[in-house]
Amino acid sequence: MPTWFITGCSTGFGREIALKILSRGWQAVVTARNPADVADIAAISPDRCLALPLDVKDRRSIDSAVAAAIDRFGSIDVLVNNAGYGYRSAVEEGEEEEIRTVFETNVFGLTFVTQAVLPHMRARRRGHIVNLSSIAGRIAQPGSGFYAGTKFAVEGISDALRKELQPLGIGVMLVEPGGFRTDFAGRSLRQSKEPIADYATTSGLRRRENSRIDGNQPGDPVRAAEAIIQAVLAEAPPFRLVLGADASRRLRDELKAQLRELEAWHQVAVDADFPV
């Protein structure tokens, strides 16, 4: 019976993945900064679900949660790094404390949880790590520079990690969702406190769009949770799992534009080498 360790289970993808895992008869370690937020999940099947407090910015909290999970279930088969939040701000508007905190949560927290779990996976020569990225990890929009920066970092770390772990029998998968109907925008998205008027038509426009789009996103988090589980179980799991028609369309357009630019500047690129 596999055990899934999931961070950030109070809402959104983390909650839906946990519910899907339990519905399959598997074991789940559900975590949140306040364990009361996930008590209802644990109550579904107390023998197969362990609710734990976890603040991914606190190394002691991480080590304690991982140790408790191993003590209870003996192993962690799948780690889902889902905890995180957004920060909307033009780059110039960004407040230092907010910038540092979003990186500490989305990048360093994910890294340290992974480091805590990996010794147990390496000892067993199996396991899977699922890192929740975003389409913002491939395409940065105005007003999302710092959030996208965290997700670009997660993408780079994950790419190196998968190559390090492949010989050890441990898989790594990035999940890149587009717009999904979670409460991310309402609960997990902070914004800079002092907007600058010159950015009204770029990052400012996205601020206004946020209130209009929230609650009307096309993505279904329940279906996304099932897609993530199916991908982990696949005979050949993907490294990058794009979720949502909007994310797929935007990424295709971006990759085509990058390829056009690469071709247009190809000769300049090769001319930068020493002459043969």
Place of tokens 């008027």: 197
Contacts 24+ apart (CB under 8 A), 72-77: 72/29, 73/3, 73/27, 73/29, 74/3, 75/3, 75/120, 75/124, 76/3, 76/4, 76/5, 76/29, 76/117, 76/120, 76/121, 76/127, 77/2, 77/3, 77/4, 77/126, 77/127, 77/128
35: pLDDT strictly greater than 80: yes
Q: Is residue 60 part of a domain?
A: yes
The one catalytic residue among 89, 151, 158, 199: 151
Q: List the structure tokens of 273.
A: 């080498």
pLDDT band, very low/low/confident/very high, at 77 (cuts 50, 70, 90): very high
Task: Give the pLDDT confidence score for residue 219 in this predicted structure.
Answer: 79
206: pLDDT strictly greater than 80: no
Task: Give the pLDDT confidence score for residue 46 in this predicted structure.
Answer: 95
Angle between helices 59-73 and 110-124 (to 10 degrees): 30
Helix (H, G, I), strand (E, B) or coil at 26: coil
67: pLDDT strictly greater than 80: yes
211: pLDDT strictly greater than 90: no
Average pLDDT, the chain: 93
Task: Give the pLDDT confidence score for residue 83 in this predicted structure.
Answer: 95
Q: Is residue 255 part of a domain?
A: no
Tens of pLDDT, residues 179-197: 867 765 555 578 888 899 9
Task: Give the pLDDT confidence score for residue 276 in this predicted structure.
Answer: 86
By residue count, the chain amounts to 276
Q: Is residue 273 part of a domain?
A: no
Phi/psi at 76 (5° precision): -125, 115
1: pLDDT strictly greater than 70: yes
pLDDT band, very low/low/confident/very high, at 210 (cuts 50, 70, 90): low
Distances (CA, A) of 114 to 5, 54, 78, 147, 170: 11, 13, 11, 20, 12
Place of tokens 């140790």: 67
CATH number, domain with residue 83: 3.40.50.720
Amino acid identity, position 253 = D
Q: In this predicted structure, which of 52-61, 125-134, 218-227 has the lowest mean pLDDT?
A: 218-227
Domain limits at 158?
3-247
Q: Is residue 253 part of a domain?
A: no
- State the virtual CA torsion across 52, 56, 61, 66 in degrees, nearest 10: 60
Task: Compute the average pLDDT of residues 134-161.
Answer: 97
Query: What kind and span of H or E run contains 185?
Result: helix 184-187
The one catalytic residue among 89, 133, 192, 203: 133
**147 included as an active-site residue:** yes
Rounded to the nearest angstrom, the gap between the alpha carbon of residue 58 and the centroid of all alpha carbons in its chain is 18
- Nearest Cα neighbor of 52 from 75, 70, 41, 68 is 68
The one catalytic residue among 87, 89, 147, 188: 147
Task: Give the pLDDT confidence score for residue 184 in this predicted structure.
Answer: 57
Task: Give the pLDDT confidence score for residue 256 in this predicted structure.
Answer: 98
Task: Give the pLDDT confidence score for residue 150 in this predicted structure.
Answer: 98
Tens of pLDDT, residues 40-55: 999 999 999 999 999 9
Q: Is residue 263 part of a domain?
A: no
Angle between helices 12-23 and 221-233 (to 10 degrees): 60
Q: Count the domains in the chain.
A: 1
Q: Is residue 107 part of a domain?
A: yes
Where does residue 37 rank: exposed (0-12), middle (13-18), buried (19+ CB within 10 A)? middle
Query: How far is it, in rounded angstroms, from Cα 27 to Cα 77?
Result: 10
- Nearest Cα neighbor of 239 from 139, 141, 128, 140 is 128
Q: Is residue 16 part of a domain?
A: yes
